[in-house]
Structure 1
Amino acid sequence: MDLNLTKPIVFFDLEATGLNVTQDRIVEIGIIKINIDGSEEKLTQLINPEKTIPQEVIEIHGITNEKIADEPTFKTFAPTLMAFIGDADLAGYNSNKFDIPMLMEEFLRAGCDFSMENRNCIDVQNIFHKMEKRTLEAAYQFYCDQELKNAHSAEADTIATYEILKAQLSRYENLENDMDFLATFSQNSKNKVIDFSGRLALNAAGEAIYNFGKNKNKTVKEVYQKEPGYHGWLLNNDFPHYTKKVLSEIIQKIKAEKAPKKSIEDKLDALKSKFSGQ
């Protein structure tokens, strides 16, 4: 079944130096971009993470330190990657928890403002787990009746993820072939997560809330007013850069709401004072 697209969608998979979103680095990215007309574009790139890949991680994905020594750093590759993705929606396997947060960390670290506004994020793993609760290899065997060869290769995993989503749409009548629906369905939280790490979300009223810890389900605005140091604690500790970016933007809006607005009379008085002094 072909995807019902209103704009391009990018399926991607990352291999990294480890699983810590804030500390580890990307070593390979594999992408398939599906355009509205159904045409496909592929991009696979090894990345020099500028840090040593642990041996136990090498044994999983097979990418050695020697193999990536002469490859571009993420900062060097970032402009090409941003141009390739464009305004496309994003999709992957466990992408909401790992691949998208990791990608956002790398973009922010490289000084690139990669906007997540107006992008659907579809996590095929969450759809799979809600329907069948298996692993990627089992999902590929179950939905596509094929054995996944070269597992943990970014390109092979990316292709498999794309094929699985199409098979899921064919198998389940209650899955709508609509990217907005799939993005919502593949969310793994009751609240709409807005930072991918799950620390920040929107409640039913559309208000930004903390989605973890002692202030879970409290609005950021309420916590800021009662405990203004809490957001400072989060910004200064080991949380993902993208979480900090989103929180900072929310806090700035709260501060703007609190700032007194000058009336027209105040502005006129200020102008009079300025010119009378000349």
Structure 2
Amino acid sequence: MTAWYEGRLAGFDLETTGVDVEQDRIVTACVVQCGGGHPTQSFNWLADPGIEIPEGAAKVHGITTERARAEGRPAAEVVEQVVAGLAESVVAGLPVVAMNASFDLTILDREARRHGVQPLTDMVGGDLRVVDPRVLDKKVDPYRRGGRKLEDLCRTYDVRLDGAHSADADAIAACRVAWRIAATKAPIGRAALDELHTQQIEWARQQAESLADYFRRTPGKESWADGVRTEWPLIPAQRGGAA
């Protein structure tokens, strides 16, 4: 039987107006299908988020408010197409590979609710299977010093990253990192996809609880612990939906 990482993967990445999953908006998005012995197919979107893009965010991903307004598609249209692209991949049995998945999938969920688009989880139900290189890396190498951002993981696992902080480059790189971890760490690579998804739910919870505990013990960071969320791969929507 073919290992999950040897088949087709659906990479997913967003660049956004900020890091608040409840309030921030999608600026660029990518869904890329790669691997499995077939050519890579990359689908990219630039959205007009409908709000100002803060200067700090624009410095990260390179998209200014002016450019988004001039070149971006309406946010509702982009969100609908991104959800549809991911749903198509899920229905085809592909795992969604996303670095720090709970951020990207939660942002997408809130944007869908904000714009009256059927959320991904409502479309695919329990068929969604996610692979998160960040969660996998922390599990297989928990005591490694240094950062755990995508650029750090690419260096650690000797993966090429062509242009960090563009959604398409990050989506492809996340797939490459996930492939490299699975290919070199037998417990990850040999796991059935259903089993791996379930394991990551627990691993992500443990990792988040460990981070919150670290904040509580670190002078000046105690209050940060309250903001750590343990849910993975999606933070459930609160009643009333996104604003």
Contact 1:5 1:178 in 2 (8 A): no
Measure the CA separation in 2 of the matches of 1:130 and 1:46: 34
* Distance (whole Å) between structure 2 residues aligned to residue 56 and residue 72 of structure 1: 22
Distance, in Å, in 2 between the alignment partners of 1:54 and 1:168 is: 35
Deviation at 1:12, TM superposition (A): 0.7
Check the 8 A contact 1:10/1:31 in 2, yes or no. Answer: yes
Cα distance in 2 for partners of 1:131, 1:68 equals 39
Structure 2 residue 145 is the aligned partner of structure 1 residue 131: no
The DSSP-based 3-state class of the residue aligned with 1:32 is strand
**Contact 1:123–1:183 (Cα < 8 Å) also in 2:** no
2:48 counterpart SS class: coil
Which of 22-31 and 175-184 deviates more? Answer: 175-184
Q: Distance in 2 between matches of 1:121 and 1:136?
A: 17
* Alpha-carbon distance change, 179 to 37 in structure 1, aligned in 2, over 3 angstroms: farther
Unaligned regions of 5+ residues in structure 2, if any?
207-225, 227-234
> Cα 1:77–1:3, aligned 2, differ >3 Å: closer, same or farther?
farther
Q: Which structure has more helix as a fraction of its residues?
A: 2
> Any idea what SS the aligned residue of 2:164 has?
coil
- The answer for the alignment partner of 1:167 in structure 2 is 180
Worse-superposed segment, 64-73 or 74-83: 74-83
> Are 1:90 and 2:96 counterparts?
yes
Q: 1:106 to 1:125 in 2, by over 3 A?
A: same
Q: Structure 1 residues 44 and 173, CA, compared in 2 at 3 Å: closer, same or farther?
A: same
Maintained 8 Å contact 1:5/1:179: no
SS at match of 1:174: helix
SS of the aligned residue for 1:186 comes to: helix
Contact 1:108–1:241, Cα closer than 8 Å, also in 2: no
Q: 1:56 to 1:79 in 2, by over 3 A?
A: closer
2:118 aligned residue (96, 108, 113): 113
Measure, in 1, the Cα distance between the counterparts of 2:6 and 2:155: 29
**CA distance in 2 between partners of 1:145 and 1:10 (Å):** 17
Match of 1:182 in 2: 196
8 Å CA contact 2:31–2:82 kept in 1: the answer is no
TM-score by length of 1: 0.62
Give the whole-Å Cα distance in 2 for the aligned partners of 1:7 and 1:46: 28
Alpha-carbon offset, residue 60 of structure 1 = 1.4
Contact 1:169 1:177 in 2 (8 A): no
Q: State whether structure 2 residue 160 is matched by structure 1 residue 152.
A: no
Q: How many Å apart are 1:8 and its aligned residue? A: 6.2
1:142-169 per-position Cα deviation (integer Å, ceiling 9, x unaligned): 21354x3421111111111010011011
CA contact (8 A) 1:10 1:91 kept: yes
Q: Residue 145 and residue 4 in structure 1: after superposition, are their counterparts in 2 closer, same or farther (change >3 A)?
A: closer
Q: One-letter code of the match for 1:99?
A: D
Distance 1:47 1:161 in 2: 22
Is the alpha carbon distance of 1:37 and 1:179 closer, same or farther for their aligned partners in structure 2, counting shifts above 3 Å? farther
Alpha-carbon deviations, 1:94-144, whole Å to 9, x = none? 012x10100100111111122421211221111112223533112112213
Give distance in 2, aligned partners of 1:72 and 1:145.
Answer: 32
What is the alpha-carbon distance in structure 2 between the residues aligned to residue 38 and residue 74 of structure 1?
31
Equivalent pair of 2:48/2:73 in contact (CA under 8 Å): yes
Larger RCO (CA under 8 A, 6+ residues apart): 2
Q: 1:244 aligns with which of 222, 239, 243?
A: 239
Give the RMSD, CA atoms, in angstroms: 2.9
Shift of 1:78: 3.2
Deviation at 1:177, TM superposition (A): 5.0
Using the alignment, how far apart are the partners of 1:15 and 1:79 within structure 2? 16
Is the 1:30–1:45 contact (alpha carbons within 8 Å) kept by the matching residues of 2?
yes
Calculate percent identity across the aligned residue pairs.
Answer: 24
TM-score (norm 2): 0.70
Take 1:42 and 1:16, find their aligned partners in 2: how far apart are those partners? 19
Counterpart amino acid of 2:22?
Answer: T
Q: CA deviation at 1:51?
A: 0.4
